[in-house]
Amino acid sequence: MKSDVKERIDREIRDNPITIYMKGTEMFPRCGFSAAAVEALRRAGAEGSIHSVDVLADPELWESVKEYSDWPTIPQVYIAGEFVGGSDITRELFESGELQTRVRNALAEREAPGQGSVE
């Protein structure tokens, strides 16, 4: 992976409380798995705070993000700088309530950096 692509991924994950590498965009997903992951994030309270990155627009990024996370599929969700997983894991976390907690904590941290997570 090129260092400029790795730096881009690092920056996107660091600078956004919720980042999803997906096929299409948050507003116009281009695959069912990406749409399902975005919907779970929205239902978990992330509406308006999702930074979506369309890997279809950049084939080098598409391959690099899979290498970066050591995860073979798209979409890939990051919350508060941490790799969460793909569509199935994101939906499972939503069903268990854990996704809502992670989203709430990430957004609280964004509002009050350095104050720690809110439970």
**Domain CATH code at residue 89:** 3.40.30.10
pLDDT at res. 111? 77
Say what the pTM is. 0.91
Domain membership of residue 104 as a residue range:
3-110
User: Is the C-alpha dihedral spanning 25, 22, 65, 98 positive or negative?
Assistant: positive
In a domain, 31, yes or no: yes
Check pLDDT > 60 for residue 117.
no
| Number of separate domains in the chain | 1
How far is it between the farthest Cα atoms of the chain?
39
**71-113 pLDDT, tens per residue?**
999 999 999 999 999 999 999 999 999 999 999 999 998 877 5
